[in-house]
Amino acid sequence: MSVLNQELKLSDLHQGDNLSSVVRHITQRDINRYAEASGDFNPIHIDESFAAQTPFGGTVAHGMLILAYVSEMMTAAFGKSWLVGGKLSVRFKAPARPEDILTITGKIDSIEHKENVPYVNCGLESHNQRGETIVIGKATVKLCS
Amino acid sequence: MEQNKSKDSLPITFEQLVAGYEFPPSRYELKLSVIAKYLEAVGKPSKLDSLASEFVPPVAIAAYTMTAVLQSLSLPPGAIHTAQELEFLKLVPVGATINCRGRVARKLNRGKLHLLVIELNALNQDQEEVLSGQATIVVPG
């Protein structure tokens, strides 16, 4: 389901609909590039010898990088409504590591109206190629009129 | 990235943090080059370009706000970002300047672990809140 460059119609949205998933292969180069772009140079993300001495045993991706992928899926599904009326609540269940292939999925759990404004509630998940849950959570989108 | 911290200071340690502590705010100029670098880093597909060239991705604002906090904070190795809440309140056009702020909402002991909850928000040039949220970090004891 994608609504970019077209008007989002409530009648097109249904409980149980799956959002178009996002798949990303994360490399150490991606993580380094994200550190440069975000300014977050915590060595747990970019210094392999440092990270090897921590409980993680190696570098891990920034949590906010994974949320960028989640937001990409939500933007593709809900367009501007996500950018200005989006709400996200997630838990990071396991670290995403270099060479992981992440799949971000979402599903419309319910659609409700508050004061005649429609809100779409979605469940979100991210798994790696081993089926481990990386991120789990929910999102709500207030649909723009 | 164009970042201006309101004051230069050594990072505060986790032990020094108390509930209510406010991190030094940071200001970011979200020029097209800054956002382009962010989009390249997150591998944004071209189909999102029409929106991304006009508005700053809200998670980018959240990332800058988190960075502003983390640059002011010295956490022990093994600290983990375990949860994140975000609410996107206003569109931020590319080229805008935002002020990012963080405040310790809670600091709790859970046996051998500590829980740090930080409230985050970002304001535009008109002092309107464009993003709010909350980050939870678990710190080994």
Domains and CATH numbers, chain B: 2-140 (3.10.129.10)
Residue B44 main-chain phi, psi, to 5 deg: -60, 125
Least-confidence region, from A9-13, A122-126, B50-54: B50-54
The pLDDT score that the predictor gives to residue A5 is: 45
A interface mutation test: which of B30, B84, B117 has the most A CBs within 10 A? B84
Residue labelled with tokens 């706000």: B65
Q: Percentage of chain A surpassing pLDDT 70?
A: 94
pLDDT tens per residue across span B7-36: 456 788 888 999 999 999 999 999 989 998
The rounded mean pLDDT for chain B is: 88
Which of B130, B137, B21, B11 lies closest to B84 in space, CA to CA? B137
Q: What is the pTM of this model?
A: 0.91
DSSP alpha helix (H) spans, chain A = 28-38, 43-46, 48-52, 63-78, 80-85
Where do the structural domains in chain A lie, given as residue ranges?
A: 10-27+61-142
* CATH class of domain segment(s) A10-27+61-142: alpha beta
Radius of gyration of chain A (CA): 17
A116 vs B47: which has the higher pLDDT:
A116
- pLDDT tens for A18-71 read 999 999 999 999 999 999 999 889 899 999 999 998 888 999 999 999 999 999
Cβ under 8 Å to B: A residues 46-75: 50, 53-56, 62-65, 67-72, 75
- Asked if the C-beta of A84 comes within 8 angstroms of chain B's C-beta atoms, the answer is yes
Kindly provide the residue ranges of all beta strands, DSSP E only, lying in chain B, ordered along the sequence: 2-5, 12-13, 26-29, 73-74, 80-88, 97-110, 113-123, 129-140
pLDDT (tens digit per residue) in B72-86: 998 887 788 999 999
Helix (H, G, I), strand (E, B) or coil at B46: helix
Report the share of chain A in percent with pLDDT over 90.
80
Structure confidence at residue A144 (pLDDT): 77
This complex has an ipTM of 0.91
